[in-house]
Structure 1
């Protein structure tokens, strides 16, 4: 999508001020308004499933099943969970007071921040736009949703549907390119939530700095899988292949590479290759990539890899399609191992021990997710504790993202802040400290001039 500068400026200029005026009326604060928006998000996904699937197919070549699984069902679940628990989340939390502050009462209340900016990505353009919106409206905020221009059909669909299902005066969709995002950030929002790559995340943070806009950055990184010698290899192969192939590997928490014990490497490789072949039976052997730039980057990663290609490797630039590719033991210095793959390429590296796996991963930037396959609970927990990551799963992949009771976010290069469920509600609320004191008693000893006796008493109290 190409947005001319004059249109972009007209669309973005004053967007934050306009919504701030709406917020100032108190319109978004009541429980009923928040519940209505959450219910509207659920209805949008359920009633428009066919239209959403059509848009995702146009943008990403996604099947209807993957559209439902990756974008629709996850969004509905997030909104439904928030709607069912919101009244409890909004309650004030009473706290005890020290002796010096008695009599009185203290509590923490959750106030809306104001106007939130949500910058969506192209890989799950519905879920990763509406999921943060769930948190924003649950917390009682107005919001601007800026969908990705790299998923134009879904962006246009959101622009058309959100005003139909939600409060169009308090929630705006603004389409456009990176310049639009920069123009919005320059207005100074009360919070910005961005989902995307690490390099763009740095630009978002830099653009937010002049206005002191707080940011939640959901980024990515090279999420590793450790497969120990005692792991169930059939299960590991199925789950690794399944999650790797979802959305053509264009998932921020997809397995980026596998570290497998030497004693079971060949067996695991054979099972993964066989599973990929079985999963693609009756379908095209190749997977659609979002655009030419991403295609060329992925094709280059395959071409420059020094390991052995044991499956796939083929591509078709005219159709933007790449075969699921498994590469065994590429060099750690290969470009394949230096950047997030974000495509259907799976490097599998041999390790001599779990200690070697820990050392290998910890020598690199902290990943968004860590996956461990082992039959030993003790080994699984030891590895999770030894390797920092945004989230972690033992004996599966990516499923933590679908649990609204768990926070979802990165650490270090993979992001900052977290949301989902109550964590999203709190991330987009101000946790406000309130202390209420009676007018009496009002002892004179706390006021100057201070006597020795008064100071002795105060030292004991404070």
Structure 2
């Protein structure tokens, strides 16, 4: 669908009208629409699985666990808690306003634009949309053109569940995204790469639009000499090569204590052989498109490959690949890898570890494997990152009680569960002054200045 600017302008006008009407509707109506959405997704489960497989051969198990499971959890959480979260919150009034009652009201921003990526094309599109719609906003969802089959099923679901003025999927490529970003939104939620995130931020700054940017970065994974090697190898291989490494929170490189580096490398290799059949790789996702395939396979030139490295252009296949200590100036290390290539480095002191990790921007995630509480505490206190895990990888994403988001170049804002409610609502403070008493001290003429000075001494 090639959207024209006039079309989106008319859509936004209709959303304004919908918001004026919707402001009078109850939270119960929004909960009903969430239940309808959940039922519709359940009806189309197999269609979703097949669409994502057509886009880049993601195994059914990964679709169930990393796409549908996360979406159902978010829907269930909002259905259960939206009434409670939406109630105005009473706060203590200021003394100077006596007598009064003060409350914080949670109101929708208004018209929300959600721009989604291709790597988890269903979940990363619909999860923020759920939060926005639940909070009373209207939504325009722009899914990735690189996952066209998933975009089609998203459009089908939205057309069946929502009125167009409430929530609409608009498909298209870069030109469509450009037109959308040129409009004035009340809130923008973007998930994608750091370079594109900068472009989005610059564009919406023209309207001073509040926003969330879910980006990425070079996520370090530290393996201390006290780590349980067998468990660490399994959990790292799972987190890194899930979705063929096309995960914003995947470990981007390993930092292994030099005392156990050789042993740990061997365990990584044996684990990968156990996980994936080299003859078929049935449980292994392919790269999303030709350009990404060519970029990643191009990285492999002049690297010391210690395992993997096989590729096939016919299916955009790149095997899980381990590389030893690539030069930090190599293209592989200049940006987030976002693929199944795992660089391995060693360190001999904490200073070396700190120098390496601090040479990059603040990452979206950090992982540390250690049985030493003192070591893990030191790591968490030393480095700044969006979110982390001790003795596993990427699992913080699935806990809806934890806000998910980056810091610095890896992102702005967060979401998931209650954090999504806080993101997609604006806190509107209301002071209700009572009329049964009116203390005259604030009114001119200011004859009581000395009395107020005495009162002010209480705060000095």
Q: TM-score, normalised by structure 2?
A: 0.95
Q: CA deviation at 1:456?
A: 2.4
Q: 1:92 to 1:198 in 2, by over 3 A?
A: same
1:457 to 441, 446, 451: 451
User: In 2, Cα distance between the equivalents of 1:351 and 1:213?
Assistant: 43
Preserved CA contact (<8 Å) 2:56 2:285? no
Quote the residue 1:418 is aligned against: 414
Q: Tell me, yes or no, if structure 1 residue 80 matches structure 2 residue 111.
A: no
Q: CA deviation at 1:132?
A: 0.2
1:32-58 alpha-carbon deviations (Å, 9 max, x no partner)? 122123223322332211100100001
Q: CA deviation at 1:282?
A: 7.0
Q: 1:378 to 1:21 in 2, by over 3 A?
A: same
State which drifts further: 17-26 or 282-291.
282-291
1:226-258 alpha-carbon deviations (Å, 9 max, x no partner)? 000000111110011011111111011111111
Q: 1:419 to 1:28 in 2, by over 3 A?
A: farther
Quote the residue 1:100 is aligned against: 96
1:294 to 292, 295, 299: 292
Q: Tell me, yes or no, if structure 1 residue 13 matches structure 2 residue 9.
A: yes
Quote the residue 2:259 is aligned against: 263
RMSD: 1.7
State which drifts further: 132-141 or 249-258.
132-141
Preserved CA contact (<8 Å) 1:45 1:75? no
User: In 2, Cα distance between the equivalents of 1:283 and 1:149?
Assistant: 31
Quote the residue 2:159 is aligned against: 163
User: In 2, Cα distance between the equivalents of 1:76 and 1:89?
Assistant: 19
User: In 2, Cα distance between the equivalents of 1:211 and 1:445?
Assistant: 41
1:109 to 86, 105, 108: 105
1:397-448 alpha-carbon deviations (Å, 9 max, x no partner)? 1111111111101111101011111111111111111111112322333211
Q: CA deviation at 1:332?
A: 1.9
User: In 1, Cα distance between the equivalents of 2:241 and 2:36?
Assistant: 31
SS in 2 for 1:208: helix
User: In 1, Cα distance between the equivalents of 2:159 and 2:455?
Assistant: 57
**Which runs of 5 or more structure 1 residues have no equivalent in the other structure?**
none
User: In 2, Cα distance between the equivalents of 1:92 and 1:382?
Assistant: 40
1:297-355 alpha-carbon deviations (Å, 9 max, x no partner)? 101111143xx211111211222111110012112222211111011101110111233
User: In 2, Cα distance between the equivalents of 1:13 and 1:167?
Assistant: 17
Q: CA deviation at 1:181?
A: 1.4
1:188-232 alpha-carbon deviations (Å, 9 max, x no partner)? 111000000000001111111122221100001111100000001
Corresponding residue pairs, total? 454
Quote the residue 1:438 is aligned against: 434
Quote the residue 1:70 is aligned against: 66
User: In 2, Cα distance between the equivalents of 1:8 and 1:276?
Assistant: 48
SS in 2 for 1:349: strand
Quote the residue 2:316 is aligned against: 320
Quote the residue 2:170 is aligned against: 174
Q: Tell me, yes or no, if structure 1 residue 134 matches structure 2 residue 130.
A: yes
Quote the residue 2:193 is aligned against: 197
Q: Tell me, yes or no, if structure 1 residue 447 matches structure 2 residue 455.
A: no
SS in 1 for 2:300: helix
Preserved CA contact (<8 Å) 1:228 1:354? no
**Which runs of 5 or more structure 2 residues have no equivalent in the other structure?**
none
User: In 2, Cα distance between the equivalents of 1:217 and 1:460?
Assistant: 49
Quote the residue 1:397 is aligned against: 393
Q: TM-score, normalised by structure 1?
A: 0.95
Q: 1:96 to 1:239 in 2, by over 3 A?
A: same
SS in 2 for 1:25: helix
1:181-330 equivalences in 2 (<5 Å)? 181-281=177-277, 284-285=280-281, 287-305=285-303, 308-330=304-326
Q: CA deviation at 1:135?
A: 1.2
Quote the residue 2:41 is aligned against: 45
Preserved CA contact (<8 Å) 1:362 1:388? no
SS in 2 for 1:450: coil
Q: 1:185 to 1:267 in 2, by over 3 A?
A: same
User: In 2, Cα distance between the equivalents of 1:214 and 1:82?
Assistant: 23
Preserved CA contact (<8 Å) 2:142 2:169? yes
1:113-135 alpha-carbon deviations (Å, 9 max, x no partner)? 11111101101111011110121
Quote the residue 1:121 is aligned against: 117
